[in-house]
Amino acid sequence: MIPIAIVGGGGWGTALAITMARLERDVRLWVYEPYLVETMIATGENPIYLPSVRIPPSVRVSNSVEEVLAGVRIVILAVPSHVYRQVFSHILPLLNGDMWFVSATKGIENETLMRMSEVIADVARPRFVPCIAAISGPTFALEVARGEPTALVVASPDESLRLYLQRELSAPRFRLYTNPDLIGVEISAAVKNIIAIAAGVVEGLGLGSNPAAALITRGLAEMTRLVVACGGRRETLSGLAGLGDLVLTAYGSLSRNRRVGVALGQGKNIDDVLSSTRMVAEGVKTAKSTVALARKLDVEMPIAEKMYAVLYEGLKPQDAIDDLMERKLREE
């Protein structure tokens, strides 16, 4: 079977490595921190990002990109969005046009407003035209690593690529559906994290089920508007990468974005919240790029706007809720 390289040793990258290893194939995992590589090799666990889950001995963990990428055809990128361009630029000399690139990161680049697949294409273009797909859906890394039943999508406009990756990456209890809408899948994956922070704020403020349900529903409407404006398909939002991932991230107890929102609703300072964990809550950084993209495309996204104001402009969470409820009445 074709070797798989996974670039990024956080919780999600580690969970993907564990899952792919269940197929009894050659799996390599690149981890940035040398000390973490030593610990993972010695203990068979990722104590920082995915503790108490065993990593199969067949997974080759390394800090050497040369070792990880040698001879592979499938490269899965699972690093945070804010270092995505930096990491891909770092490994570019070892890549070629015969490889298939799979983005497993949910975000929009702040500086360029590019989706992650666009970042790959932008960096690679001077050397070759890359074949790119993205995987997304309702997935908590811990549950995937434990082998709990999971369904997600692999998206690419290239039908042969997405069908190939569906076959190669599907594993027991890890079911992949195909979707041609790369734009819709990537935008949904990024924006739902902002809505999840807002859902956490609702809980942190001690509000009930009514506002939570309203928030999720109207948040989905905002996601849909942005997806369509970017050229994606409205139908994608009713699937795993849209509604499925939104529900999981907004309601699931393992959601980092939701936990950030809960802390904000309880009156905690965002800097204190972020400094208390090494885990990345993508919605915090993506709030900047999403609002900028929405403004550029003249897309109305009041929830995203208010969360941006809470995160970066000092707006109090209760005031954000009040502002949303007092907006001009309109048709749904």
pLDDT in tens, 75-111: 999 999 999 999 999 999 999 999 999 999 999 999 9
pLDDT at 279: 65
Tokens coding 207: 């509000």
pLDDT in tens, 133-169: 999 999 999 999 999 999 999 999 999 999 999 999 9
pLDDT at 184: 98
pLDDT at 25: 87
Residue 27 predicted with pLDDT over 70: yes
pLDDT in tens, 172-196: 899 999 999 999 999 999 999 999 9
Distance of alpha carbon 252 from alpha carbon 319, whole angstroms: 25
Full 3-state SS string of 270-319: HHHHHHCCCCCCHHHHHHHHHHHHHHHCCCCCHHHHHHHHHHHCCCCHHH
pLDDT at 276: 75
Distance of alpha carbon 254 from alpha carbon 140, whole angstroms: 7
Average pLDDT over residues 200-221: 95
Residue 74 predicted with pLDDT over 70: yes
Contact 119, 84 (CB under 8 A): yes
Residue 54 predicted with pLDDT over 80: yes
Residue type, 104: A
pLDDT at 275: 80
Quick one: what percent of the chain has pLDDT higher than 70?
Answer: 99
What letter would DSSP give residue 54? P
Please give the domain boundaries of the chain with CATH numbers for all domains: 4-180 (3.40.50.720), 183-325 (1.10.1040.10)
Distances (CA, A) of 36 to 115, 144, 165, 177, 223: 29, 21, 29, 33, 37
pLDDT in tens, 236-294: 999 999 999 999 999 999 999 999 999 999 999 888 888 877 666 788 999 999 999 99
Residue 209 predicted with pLDDT over 70: yes
Looking at every residue in the chain, the average pLDDT score rounds to 95
Quick one: what percent of the chain has pLDDT higher than 90?
Answer: 92
Strand 174-179 versus strand 150-155 pairing type: parallel
User: What are 62's strand-pairing partners?
Assistant: 30
Query: Which range is least confidently modeled, 54-63, 89-98, 112-121, 275-284?
Result: 275-284
- Residue found by looking up tokens 């009156």 in the block: 267
Measured from the Cβ of residue 267, the count of other Cβ atoms closer than 10 Å reads 11
Beta strands (DSSP E) in the chain are: 4-7, 27-30, 59-62, 74-77, 100-103, 131-136, 150-155, 174-179
Average pLDDT over residues 306-311: 96
Neighbour order of strands in the sheet with 4-7: 59-62, 27-30, 4-7, 74-77, 100-103, 131-136, 150-155, 174-179
Catalytic sites, residue numbers: 192
